[in-house]
Structure 1
Amino acid sequence: MHSMVEISHEFLKPVLHPQAICVDGTFGTGKDSVFFLNQKVKKVIAFEIQKEAIDACTITDPRFILNPAGHENMDEYIQEEIDAIIFNFGYCPGLDPSISTKWQTSCTAVKKGLSLLKQKGRMALVLYPHEQGRIEAEKIESMLSELDVYKYSILKMNLLNQDKSPYIIGIEKREK
């Protein structure tokens, strides 16, 4: 079976095209940004707060922009409508595990991302149920469960027989 990150990429592929503008809300090691770039999209805008991750970035593609800012501030960096957004919440493997996404800023980032998403655009959230991640996931799910059903289609995919495995929430902004 594919990993949840790979499945989230498959969920996003239908909205990726040569004019697509994509956001990697949690850059980390850059795998999601590289995925977008490999799909031949127009632009990838990424966000990262950890200096080690920013310094380790080796992506030189001119279509790529790495902002040294929290994802909750994405609206300060993005003016155009977005085709695809991915968030891989939690901490970055290989870096300081005490530095992790927080539910407050993550909920803000998801809300701002939804406001920037174009009609038929998609957002993928990969969530991890470690202790802090569980709280973050619960808060995000609670917020998403209150979104207008006529504006957003939201799915959740998890492994039923693996209680503590990562899972995905996929969102598509409906046409008006």
Structure 2
Amino acid sequence: MGFISVLSLAQELAGQRIGPGDCCIDATAGNGVDTLFLAKAAGSGGLVHAFDIQETALASTAARLSGELSERFTGVRLHLASHDRMKDYVEAEHHGRISAIMFNLGYLPGAEHTVITQPGTTLAALDSSLELLRPGGVLTVVVYSGHPGGEEEAEAVNTWAEALPQREFQVMSYRFMNQQNHPPYLIAVEKRQPAAK
């Protein structure tokens, strides 16, 4: 039967946290797979913000959404912007109330490998994500390290995740240990509920 893939587990963890009408974020829209997943999970009353710095990615995402969602569905906002600016685009009333934020690092599948996520903007986006998440919300980061620049970003993200305070966040890693060619792996962060006073 085999183990669940890192991409499927990221969606499973996010889906467990999302309720109808929730607000979610796809921090790296790419070809729109996670954007569509989040939109379906949040339902017609939900809201999904999707970010990418490449117009081709947002066009691909829009095409995927139009082929899968009803014309009445207006709950997805596509932003041609870096994910480190997500707090500027997400409405203030949703700050601290996001149920799921998903990242897929690396490059746009099917496009040039020269445009990649960068440690500086990725770490800033991850910090913003922690502020935007609601207690009990989850952040998923699928890390790809096999391309030029990937190892440096992976190391930075690992260091960031390992340093998160245990009292505030629960952090896990899911990876395949014996696969060759730098298989992707998942880091998931759950924002803990505040302790009862």
Distance 2:165 2:171 in 1: 10
| Residue 72 of structure 1: aligned partner | 84
Q: TM-score, normalised by structure 1?
A: 0.95
The one-letter code of the counterpart of 1:52 is: T
The alpha-carbon deviation at position 19 of structure 1 amounts to 2.4
Consecutive aligned runs of 4 or more in structure 1 exceeding 6 Å deviation: none
1:119-134 equivalences under 5 Å are 119-130=135-146, 131-134=148-151
The one-letter code of the counterpart of 1:175 is: Q
Cα pair 2:23 2:42 within 8 Å, conserved: no
The change in CA–CA distance for 1:65 and 1:147 in structure 2 (over 3 A counts) is same
| Residue 23 of structure 1: aligned partner | 25
| Residue 101 of structure 1: aligned partner | 117
How many aligned positions are there? 176
The alpha-carbon deviation at position 84 of structure 1 amounts to 0.2
Matched-pair identity in %: 30
| Residue 99 of structure 2: aligned partner | 83
Q: TM-score, normalised by structure 2?
A: 0.85
1:50-107 deviation per Cα after TM superposition (whole angstroms, max 9, x unaligned) = 0212233223530100011000000101121211000000001111211110011000
| Residue 137 of structure 1: aligned partner | 154
The alpha-carbon deviation at position 146 of structure 1 amounts to 1.4
Cα pair 2:51 2:81 within 8 Å, conserved: yes
Q: Does 1:49 align with 2:53?
A: yes
Where does structure 2 lack aligned partners over 5 or more consecutive residues? 67-72
